[in-house]
Structure 1
Amino acid sequence: MRKGFNGLHGLVLNAMDMDVRCGDLFVFVSKDRNKAKILYWDTDGLVLFYKRLEKGTFKRPTARLDAPNSELTKEELFMILRGIDFEKTKKRMRYLPH
């Protein structure tokens, strides 16, 4: 968790082969899973959010444990940051227009 703007931007560019300006949020979690950084491009510059938990850990989706990176929905990210185990929650059926 020592990397700042430039180091995380380099990881996105080189290790993930993605462009940070695409509008996605890039989430990095520490090995002990009690710290998280989120890198985001905000139209004219990078924004870095940082959260350190006083107790507990962030849960990584179990279906994606072996993957070096994972794609999450904004709802899944919100639940991870709030400490909600979204794998144990049930989504109710909704109407989806064609």
Structure 2
Amino acid sequence: MIGLRAGLSIWIATQPVDFRRGMDSLAMLVSEAFGANPFDGGLYVFRSKRRDRVKILTWDGSGLVLYYKRIEGQFTWPPIKEGVMSLSDAQLSVLLDGSDWKHVPMRAVDQPVRAG
């Protein structure tokens, strides 16, 4: 189970990737295509060409973790274009359930200035 929490950095590659890639190859892709550090604790989401598979790469503090899911049917993915986009924790949760993540509103919360 992926520990989704508010404020978690979640990035999705909008282009499908070759699903023969393993965690080291995907980590290099995070560095090159995302321009990000694969060891920063964020979630990096990759889609397959068939639209029925997802891989998620993350660093859990002690090593790289690769989640893989295949569903019966197809995931609802963002349009294929160059680059990456961010998702909220709620949107990723809905996407992984096989539902349409676009119907989950982004909730903006102001950061507190002080406690109490």
Mark yes or no: TM-score above 0.5.
yes
Q: Is 2:87 the partner of 1:68?
A: no
Give the secondary-structure state (helix, strand or coil) at the position aligned to 1:26. Answer: strand
Structure-2 separation of matches of 1:83 and 1:20? 25
Q: Is 2:40 the partner of 1:22?
A: yes
Question: How many pairs does the alignment contain?
Answer: 93
Among 32, 53, 71, the residue aligned to 2:50: 32
Q: If the length of structure 2 is used for normalisation, what is the TM-score?
A: 0.69
Percent identity over paired residues: 36
Write the letter of the residue equivalent to 1:36: V
Task: Note the aligned Cα RMSD (angstroms).
Answer: 2.3
User: What's the CA shift for 1:5?
Assistant: 1.1
Q: Is 2:94 the partner of 1:87?
A: no
Structure-1 separation of matches of 2:74 and 2:65? 23
Q: Which of the two has greater helix per residue? A: 1
Gaps of 5+ in 1: none
Deviating beyond 3 angstroms after TM superposition, the runs of 4 or more aligned structure 1 residues are 95-98
Structure number with the bigger relative contact order (C-alpha 8 A, sep ≥ 6) is 2
Structure-1 separation of matches of 2:56 and 2:77? 15
Q: If the length of structure 1 is used for normalisation, what is the TM-score?
A: 0.80
Within 5 A, what are the aligned runs for 1:4-23? 4-23=22-41
User: What's the CA shift for 1:75?
Assistant: 0.6
